[in-house]
Homo-oligomer: A and B are copies of this chain.
C-alpha cells in the first residue's frame, strides 16, 4: 500500500492508463470523469473518505475506463492488485468464490456494452 498526498486538480489516473490496483480515499475528495464528459468542468461522481475507486483494476487487466482527479487537498491510498489478491487469500473460500463469480459476470456484462 502506498499513501499519496495530492493537491486540487492532481490526476490519479487517466482513461486508457494501465490498471494495476485500486485506490481508497483517505482524506479529501476525488472526482471521476467519464469519457462522455467532454468539458470536464464537473465530475460525474464525487468520492469521499473511505470510498474506493479503480476497483476494476484488481479484477481485470483492462485499462482505466475513466479519469480520476483530486478535487481538493487529498490523501489517497494505493493498493496494488498483488496486495489485494493477498488480502483475498485470507478470506473464506466461499467469499473468494463469490468474488470470482461477480468479477467474471461484471467483465462479461461490460464487454457486451
Contact = CB atoms under 8 A, between A and B. Distances in A.
Nearest to A92: B87
- Kindly report how many copies of this chain are found in the complex they form together: 2
A91 B91 contact: yes
A79 B92 CA distance: 13
B79 A94 contact: yes
Contacts of A24: 94, 97
Given A59-B102, A102-B106, A106-B102, A88 B97 contact: no
A81 to B, nearest CB: 11
10 contacts: A50-B97, A52-B97, A55-B97, A55-B101, A87-B91, A87-B95, A90-B91, A91-B91, A98-B99, A99-B102
